[in-house]
Structure 1
Amino acid sequence: MASNTQMNDLVSRFNALQAREMPEQRYYKDLVERLHALQETNHVLQEKLADANLGLNHMSQLRKLYEGTRLQCETLTADLRNIRSANNYVFIIMDGNGLIFDNRFIKQGREGGKQAAQALLLAVAKLCPSLPSSFEIFCDVLVNIAEMGRALVNDGSIDDPSLFHEFAIGFTEVKSSFNFIDIGLSKGTLVRKIQETAMWHLGCYNCRHVMLGIGHGAQYAPFLRRLNEAGDARMCVSVILGEPIVREIEACGNTVYALDGDVFRTTKLVDKTLIEKPSVQRTEATKPQGSPVPRAATTQAVLTPATSTSSMSPPQTSWAKITKSATPPPKLTMPLPPKQDKTKLATKAPPQPAWSPGPRGRDPPITVGLPAMEDIKRREDSDKLCNNHFLRGPCTRIGACTFNHTFKPSKEQLKALAMLARQNPCINGQDCDVDDCIYGHNCPNVTNGVCTRSHCRFKVDGHPPNTKFTNSFATQWDN
């Protein structure tokens, strides 16, 4: 208890002393405390000011750097804009084996090539009204020139295959940016060149549009789909319309342009030497060569149409059946042929004996209509019909065979398939003893003494004597 009393006494005495303190002394005390607080605040503000000055200097340097960079970017942008506007171009690349110029151009040779180039220029320029007037048009036509010339002859479009070569020269003379590129026989090279060249030009910033002449070929559809999936290429890539677009290309959704001026033909080439030939009387050499022939038969000839080779054949009856009397001597009465000019008689070749390639004889002719032939030839890859299955089936390799076995062809389509199978020589040739053999045992492409097949697979002895060939390739088979 004593300790608590003492503590309370001390507190009371302290309070009394504070009450007696002078106001001036308290003011001085508060003033000193306030001064110390201001000094601390000033020190903090000095540090913040130093940091702000440092940031300001840094920002000033950045602003100067930004201004310099901005001016440089504006200069580069202006330069790029000038470059793009000065070198705009549209690139055209065509598979010339399928997208073919109109006959009215090709028939004129070199002059027609110039006209075709001008017509193509005008038609494409009309499609690009938003481009500057200084834009260029580049065009590459990839084609097998020699083969196309022969195909045009077989189609009846031209008479001389060299006209197409002259046409190509005239086409390239109009503009240095127009080119005919001969790719030879390699179809794979043609497809690869078109795809790679188109991709390269699509990567050029001043190429504003690419036009592809590939609408006839389903093999280009995967390439178009890849382009469309990569971005906005569908807006930059279009297809030129010539013959009808195949459904695979149409399904890609790219714009299809039918150019003004009828620049390209709208129908496919047809080898008219293989279809709908006029029927002629042919003598099949199937009888033994050693069979006896009456001597009197040598004086009687079988007249054949002017389009076929005259042939000698034995009469249907012997002289013993014609007359029973030996006297007077029988008179041979033959119908008089139509009266002809002397000039025609002088140039008419003497009748020749029927040609036989060997023991099996000549294959019987096949006549087929154009629509059926076109349908069969248009099929590609796994859509092609299996020859063995449809011509003498069923196919014994259906599990491994890659061709179509489910299609139901018409009679005309079967004829077309058989005609195409005849283009392949039988490995046994005239020694073949298979009655239903689907392959050829003699060349089926000889018309008026000329083999119309550009690269005939038959040997020379598979053709009638003195047959002429469209090129020298077939002579390698000469024995």
Structure 2
Amino acid sequence: MTSSPYFERYRQLKAVDQQKNQLIEDLLQRVSDLETSFAQEKLDHERETRFNRDIQVHEMELMQQIAQIKIIMDREPFVVVLLDGEGMIFKDEYLQAGDKGGRCAADQLYGAIHSYLKANLPNANTPKIMMKIYLDAKGFGELCARNKVFADPAAIYDFIRGFNETMSCSEIVDVGSGNNSAYNKIQESFQVFLYNCHCHQIFVGCPSNTDYALFLEDISRDNDLTGRVSLMEGVAFEKDLDEVKASYRIARFPDVFRSEKMVPVRAPTPWKPSLPTRSILTPSPSAQFSSMANAPALSRTSTNTSTSGVPLSASTPVQQDSASEFQKVVRSKPSSSAPPPKTVERNKYGQRVDKLDFKSIPRDDLNRLKKLKLCNYYFLLGECPNDDYCYHDHDRKLTKEELHILTAIARMTPCRFGLECDDAECIYGHRCPQSEPGKKTCFRGDSCRFEPIAHGIDTNVVKVTKI
């Protein structure tokens, strides 16, 4: 027998051994990989366990801090009452009683607010009440004297002294006769207290004017803030505030405050009579006054002016020019050449247009000029019919751009003659500035100050009426 078969058998056995050894090596490598993975997983698990434990400890610490902060926030709770004395007027019996009346008014107001808080804000746990009333003491005293509340205007200071001496957190602040002084102070104080965690409620009492309406309208856009504010109504809200009051809680204290305005009595100036009604100050078509002997000429072409020594009233007769359906106005300064006629722009429907792009005016500049309380008559027409008795600013120097913005502000007040107005110098609005052509509404909806017909006006000028 040859050796070849043995060699063949040996090679077969050797191949089997190699396969066996390779299998053992593969198994050992697999075990090694699994051990490494297990060790890594074990390490990760231990790390996760430590992390979760740390997070739980940190969460407990945070909850304790929150509880401590909540305790701090609940300390010394208070409510703030910010009142503008022009719109919130104490009843006559308090004003007439001087020092004693001031004390009684402070006590009655404090008690009324405390009862209101219990009924409407039960979660407010007996907070302190801080009351601040801002007014022009001298001007208000004169107003009371003119309305026969008391004879001496200085008597108002006795009332203020009594009010201020009653409670440490309540006071009447004399803001002086500056334009918008009370509004500015109330606005700044409001912003300070609005985000104060200790302040549980802010009461705002104010007159119905555009400044307060815009300010409260901005606040009402944030639903989280309106619950912190209550409007206090003394003199009944007029249209400006009546449109925004639905967003707030309304508080009324008829036993403390008057529900009617005091009549503003204004003395006539030497060169023009008193203006008894607001209708005289609203825009109207240009008209020529009845001819009078030795009557001086008007100083400008506007129905807002009057002749010296001639009583101006809503029933003043006018002369109709037979050559034209429109009125003419006598100029005070003769010129060598006739001035160009005034014009009123109208669309194809004959509606007054008053081309003015409100969207191009920066809102910040618009709001800034509104706060200045400028006299529209003085700056836009060159003369104020109220003269020394006007409550608006006449002294500021305006740029050309500011005059343009003031024109837009004046156009936001509706003209009582609407789209048919023929007064070329009328400074008021004849179409809603917020309405786009073709759209019969604006974003204000039914609360818009302009009539429905003043919306969606076609602004393409196709003809001009000469005045």
C-alpha contact (below 8 Å) 1:145/1:165 kept by paired residues: yes
C-alpha distance in 2 between matches for 1:86 and 1:363: 62
Question: Aligned partner of 1:41: which letter?
Answer: R
Question: Aligned partner of 2:162: which letter?
Answer: G
Query: Which of the numbers 239, 260, 264 marks the counterpart of 2:257?
Result: 264
What do residues 155-202 of structure 1 show as CA deviations (whole Å, max 9, x unaligned)? 111223233212212222232111211111112332221111101111
C-alpha distance in 1 between matches for 2:201 and 2:91: 24
C-alpha distance in 1 between matches for 2:250 and 2:128: 19
* Deviation of 1:227 (Å): 1.7
Residue 154 of structure 2 corresponds to residue 250 of structure 1: no
C-alpha contact (below 8 Å) 1:98/1:217 kept by paired residues: no
Query: Which of 1 and 2 has higher RCO (CA within 8 Å, sep 6+)?
Result: 2
**SS at 2:208 equivalent:** coil
Aligned CA distance change for structure 1 residues 388 and 172 (closer, same or farther; 3 Å):
same
C-alpha distance in 2 between matches for 1:99 and 1:154: 18
Which residue of 1 is the match for residue 70 of structure 2?
81
Query: Which of the numbers 271, 294, 303 marks the counterpart of 1:389?
Result: 303
1:314-353 equivalences under 5 Å are none
Which residue of 1 is the match for residue 180 of structure 2?
188
Residue 213 of structure 2 corresponds to residue 221 of structure 1: yes
Aligned CA distance change for structure 1 residues 170 and 223 (closer, same or farther; 3 Å):
same
C-alpha distance in 2 between matches for 1:201 and 1:141: 15
1:67-216 equivalences under 5 Å are 67-128=56-117, 129-216=121-208
C-alpha distance in 2 between matches for 1:389 and 1:142: 36
TM-score (norm 2): 0.55
Question: Aligned partner of 2:303: which letter?
Answer: H
C-alpha contact (below 8 Å) 2:124/2:200 kept by paired residues: no
C-alpha distance in 1 between matches for 2:301 and 2:257: 34
* Deviation of 1:230 (Å): 4.5
TM-score (norm 1): 0.54
C-alpha distance in 1 between matches for 2:192 and 2:330: 45
RMSD of Structure 2 on Structure 1 (CA): 3.9
- Unaligned 5+ residue runs, structure 1? 1-12, 276-361, 381-385, 405-416, 425-479
Question: Aligned partner of 1:247: which letter?
Answer: K
**SS at 2:259 equivalent:** coil
Which residue of 2 is the match for residue 241 of structure 1?
233
What do residues 424-467 of structure 1 show as CA deviations (whole Å, max 9, x unaligned)? 9xxxxxxxxxxxxxxxxxxxxxxxxxxxxxxxxxxxxxxxxxxx
**SS at 1:187 equivalent:** coil
What do residues 24-83 of structure 1 show as CA deviations (whole Å, max 9, x unaligned)? x99877754443333122111222122123223322332233133212211211112112
C-alpha contact (below 8 Å) 2:86/2:207 kept by paired residues: no
C-alpha contact (below 8 Å) 1:388/1:395 kept by paired residues: no
C-alpha distance in 2 between matches for 1:87 and 1:67: 33
Aligned CA distance change for structure 1 residues 37 and 193 (closer, same or farther; 3 Å):
same
C-alpha contact (below 8 Å) 2:280/2:304 kept by paired residues: no
| Paired residues, number | 300
**SS at 1:232 equivalent:** helix
Question: Aligned partner of 1:268: which letter?
Answer: K
**SS at 1:127 equivalent:** helix
* Deviation of 1:260 (Å): 3.5
* Deviation of 1:122 (Å): 2.2
C-alpha distance in 2 between matches for 1:375 and 1:97: 22
C-alpha contact (below 8 Å) 1:84/1:205 kept by paired residues: yes
C-alpha distance in 2 between matches for 1:254 and 1:224: 9
C-alpha contact (below 8 Å) 1:154/1:273 kept by paired residues: no
What do residues 303-339 of structure 1 show as CA deviations (whole Å, max 9, x unaligned)? xxxxxxxxxxxxxxxxxxxxxxxxxxxxxxxxxxxxx
Aligned CA distance change for structure 1 residues 398 and 118 (closer, same or farther; 3 Å):
farther
* Deviation of 1:256 (Å): 5.3
C-alpha distance in 2 between matches for 1:40 and 1:255: 77
% same residue: 19
Question: Aligned partner of 2:128: which letter?
Answer: E
What do residues 199-254 of structure 1 show as CA deviations (whole Å, max 9, x unaligned)? 11112122222111114332212211222235532222232111121211222243
C-alpha contact (below 8 Å) 1:142/1:182 kept by paired residues: yes
C-alpha contact (below 8 Å) 1:119/1:261 kept by paired residues: no
C-alpha contact (below 8 Å) 1:124/1:259 kept by paired residues: no
Which residue of 1 is the match for residue 449 of structure 2?
none
